[in-house]
């Protein structure tokens, strides 16, 4: 039996490793910039998940390393067996109940985040129709946005701090409309219209990625989203999506 001291020392080492792991999970630059309110919620969820899972991983590794260190076969033990321990009900209940509770907690929290991300905000909301086609995206701005005739553009402009409801369709095969900076994606499926909602909150240009294998051109089915100040957006819409050259 390993001494209490070595168990305690290992416990401390595990705690330190956990702390380092969690610190790293904050320090490493994991994500692209956050450019929507949804992105902030999702990143927080990610950090919570990291905080919950790092201790579990550290626990598993610690037990393994500790066993390797202390229970390794030593010379003379070649023919010996360990103690015939068949189980321990208390422990087994513990390691069933604790993960179950933890997981239910995490999944509930994730539903809260999901609900927040998909809820229609109180303020104004515009609709942008997105169409995927091998191998390009086009964006239609309906009359509700343009105030006049609808127009379509290969450029995606969005007003800052206003919620957008994307209505996504496909003309041929399935594509996926992914804006990593918003942490959002959904498939563009032939025959149906899919939706997601984003509130951009950071002015800038970010990549739009087709994230579902759609044929030879899949890797190059890219576009850019320009989040601009509402006034600039108005101007762009009034010009019928003309000012395509100047990107913000």
Would you count residue 172 as binding another protein (CB under 8 A)?
Answer: yes
Report what 132 binds from ligand HEA, ligand CUA, another protein, none; CB cut-off 5-8 Å by kind. Answer: ligand CUA
Cβ distance to another protein smaller for residue 100 or 231: 100
Cβ distance to another protein smaller for residue 26 or 95: 95
Report what 149 binds from ligand CUA, another protein, ligand HEA, none; CB cut-off 5-8 Å by kind. Answer: none
The contacts found for 53-62 with CB under 8 angstroms, 24 or more apart, are 54/18, 54/21, 54/22, 54/25, 55/18, 56/99, 57/21, 58/14, 58/17, 58/18, 58/21, 59/14, 61/17, 62/10, 62/13, 62/14, 62/17
- Secondary structure in 3-state letters for 144-175: HHHCCCCEEECCEEEECCCEEEEEEEECCCCE
Q: Which stretch binds another protein (CB under 8 A): 16-24, 88-96, 146-154, 155-163?
A: 88-96
3-state secondary structure of 80: coil
Interaction residues for another protein, span 4-63 (CB under 8 A): 28, 30-32, 38, 41-42, 45-46, 49, 53, 56-57, 60-61, 63
Contact 193, 223 (CB under 8 A): no
Would you count residue 60 as binding ligand HEA (CB under 6 A)?
Answer: yes
Site for ligand CUA, rule CB under 6 A: 132, 135, 175, 210, 212-214, 218, 221
Site for ligand HEA, rule CB under 6 A: 53, 56, 60, 99, 102-103
């Amino acid at each position: 039996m390993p001494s209490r001291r070595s168990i305690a020392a290992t416990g401390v080492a595990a705690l330190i490793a956990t702390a380092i792991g969690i610190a790293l999970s904050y320090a490493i630059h994991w994500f692209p910039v956050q450019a929507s309110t949804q992105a902030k919620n999702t990143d927080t969820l990610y950090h919570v998940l990291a905080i919950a899972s790092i201790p579990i991983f550290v626990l598993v590794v610690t037990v393994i390393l500790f066993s390797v260190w202390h229970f390794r076969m030593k010379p003379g033990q070649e023919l010996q067996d360990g103690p015939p321990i068949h189980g321990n009900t208390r422990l087994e209940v513990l390691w069933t109940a604790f993960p179950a509770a933890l997981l239910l907690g995490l999944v509930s929290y994730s539903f809260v985040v999901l609900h927040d991300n998909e809820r229609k905000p109180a303020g104004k909301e515009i609709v942008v129709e997105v169409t995927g086609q091998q191998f390009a995206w086009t964006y239609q701005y309906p009359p509700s946005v343009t105030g006049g005739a609808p127009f379509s553009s290969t450029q995606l402009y969005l007003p800052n701090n206003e919620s957008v409801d994307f209505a996504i369709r496909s003309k041929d095969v399935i594509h996926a409309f992914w804006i990593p900076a918003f942490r959002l994606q959904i498939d563009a499926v032939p025959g149906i219209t899919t939706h997601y909602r984003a509130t951009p909150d950071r002015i800038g240009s970010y990549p739009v990625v087709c994230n579902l294998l759609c044929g030879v051109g899949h890797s190059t089915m890219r576009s850019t989203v320009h989040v601009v100040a509402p006034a600039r957006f108005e101007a762009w819409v009034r010009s019928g999506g003309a000012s395509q050259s100047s990107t913000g």
